[in-house]
Amino acid sequence: MKISFLTLSLILFSTYLCLGQERKNSIGLTSDFQLESPSYNLYYGLQGKHDFNKRHAVQLQFGFSDANIGFVGADYLYNLFLLKENPLIYVGGGTAYEYMTKGKGNELSFNAQVGFQFKIGKIEPYIGYKSKFYFEAESFDPNFLTLGVRYRL
């Protein structure tokens, strides 16, 4: 039993190392500007992205806003039109947990996004448009401008 577990672990670890040569990870800064009055909230934070291949990626982010809100989120991204690498056009969807940093209250939201990502060496600036749907409040916020920059590891 121990030998088979050790063998299986060795195979999985070697597969992980081999696939690690193909993985593309990046880290960076992200910001969302709510473009709808009267609030014009700014969300800012850190983001990590993992590209599974040229089309599929996931990104994780966490941060705060100037409206005393913290957030943790995950998104799936799908890259369109692979004939051109620059700019890369993506669409995606994800979920976020937002909580009040001062006071009580939290919210779960789903979001949809579309945007452009540019590659300048190892630097990846991006700009996009995001819409959010909040479950508990049953409200829809369609106007978020997403700006950020990532560094490819």
Reply yes or no on whether the pLDDT at 18 is more than 50: no
Strand 69-80 and strand 88-100: the pairing is antiparallel
What ranges in 21-129 are assigned the alpha helix state H?
Answer: none
- Assigned token pair, 93: 């969807």
Q: Which residue has the higher pLDDT, 7 or 87?
A: 87
Among candidate residues 110, 109, 139, 112, the one with its CA nearest the CA of residue 128: 112
What percent of the chain is predicted at pLDDT more than 70?
A: 80
pLDDT, one tens digit per residue, over 41-79 is: 889 999 999 999 889 999 999 999 888 889 999 999 999
Name residue 28's amino acid. G
Give CA angle at 143 (74, 31), nearest 5°: 50
| pTM for this predicted structure | 0.78
Length of the chain, in residues? 153
pLDDT, one tens digit per residue, over 78-93 is: 998 776 678 889 999 9
Name residue 9's amino acid. S
**Which of 2-11, 84-93, 116-125 has the weakest average pLDDT?**
2-11
| CA–CA distance, 20 with 11 (Å, rounded to integer) | 14
CATH number belonging to domain 24-152: 2.40.160.20
Domain extent listing, the chain? 24-152
